[in-house]
Chain A
């Protein structure tokens, strides 16, 4: 490794840390708005904070709070949230290799599996960098999430609407930035284009969460995979 390369690795590490922290700040504001909304809808502060800690999947928490407040049956609310979180199953198959084989690593690492930690991991090149990005993002966001939900609930209406800060655009844009390097590969781009189109077109038809899973049909557009990448003898 040349000196230049080493310097660049050092710089990249700082860059990762900076990126993860800016993501955590954005997440904290979203968490605060979740806390404020939940408390305004009559959810006890301790309960929404606990939810942030044990569920740790923002979208589904907003959804369940909204559904319950709108008078939906608890079963409906839970099923809705679970459908929205179904994408964690294929995520786990994709990034499961980044978790060491020991039980503590698997049990804790699985709980830290969120869109952002998966996206940060996928954006790295080497296995060591992927692991580091996954854990760093997961831990940073976990430390930011429940406390910010609690604070938001405590401050209540003073938090305001995350829409006013444009945070509803910041989250998808952040994920898009992390995906961008992968999209430079044409096969992945084809799969993504088909998948995103299918997800958008099925949104009016399917319950929330399922259109994203339906996007997986885009994978067909990535086939066939080049043989030279296969680590097995051609049968």
Chain B
């Protein structure tokens, strides 16, 4: 690990973060586009949730994580408080690993 790696990643990431807000100043965005952009962000986040639930560095992440996220998802769908969703997901996964039922 070198400082070059740290700063190259930092600068590149920051450039990608700043690009969106700067782009918006150049173009007039209609309400319809605005709505589409929101859906795009939701789709990206959901795709991120799906891949980080199922995979860990290219391979299957294991049933314990999958079950934890599923429990959290059901609770969220039933409009449970946010904190409960997070804690239940973590607890489910931790317990499955602890008991050795799933990894």
Contacts and interface: CB of A to CB of B under 8 A. Distances in A.
A binds B: yes
A48 B9 CA distance: 13
Contacts of B30: 230-232
Contacts of A107: 18
B73 to A, nearest CB: 5
B95 to A, nearest CB: 8
A157 interface: no
Nearest to B82: A19
Q: Is the interface of B mostly helix, strand, loop or mixed?
A: helix
Interface range on chain B (Cβ under 8 Å from partner): 35 or more
B42 A173 contact: no
Contacts of A82: 9, 12-13, 16
Given A96-B24, A166-B94, A77 B5 contact: yes
B100 interface: no
Contacts of B98: 164
Nearest to B77: A180
Interface in A46-100: 47-48, 50-51, 54-57, 59-60, 64-66, 68, 74, 77-78, 81-82, 85-97, 99
Contacts of A165: 90, 94
Interface in B1-17: 1-10, 12-14, 16-17
Contact of B18 (A92, A171, A215, A225): A92
B44 to A, nearest CB: 5
B75 to A, nearest CB: 8
A113 B17 contact: yes
A79 to B, nearest CB: 9
A166 B68 contact: yes
B101 interface: no
Nearest to B27: A93
Contacts of A78: 5, 8-9, 12
Contacts of A65: 1
A204 B28 CA distance: 38
Interface of A: 15, 18-19, 22-23, 26, 38, 42-44, 47-48, 50-51, 54-57, 59-60, 64-66, 68, 74, 77-78, 81-82, 85-97, 99, 101, 106-107, 109-111, 113, 115, 118-119, 122, 163-180, 182-183, 187-188, 191-192, 195-200, 203-204, 208, 211-216, 218-219, 222, 225, 229-232
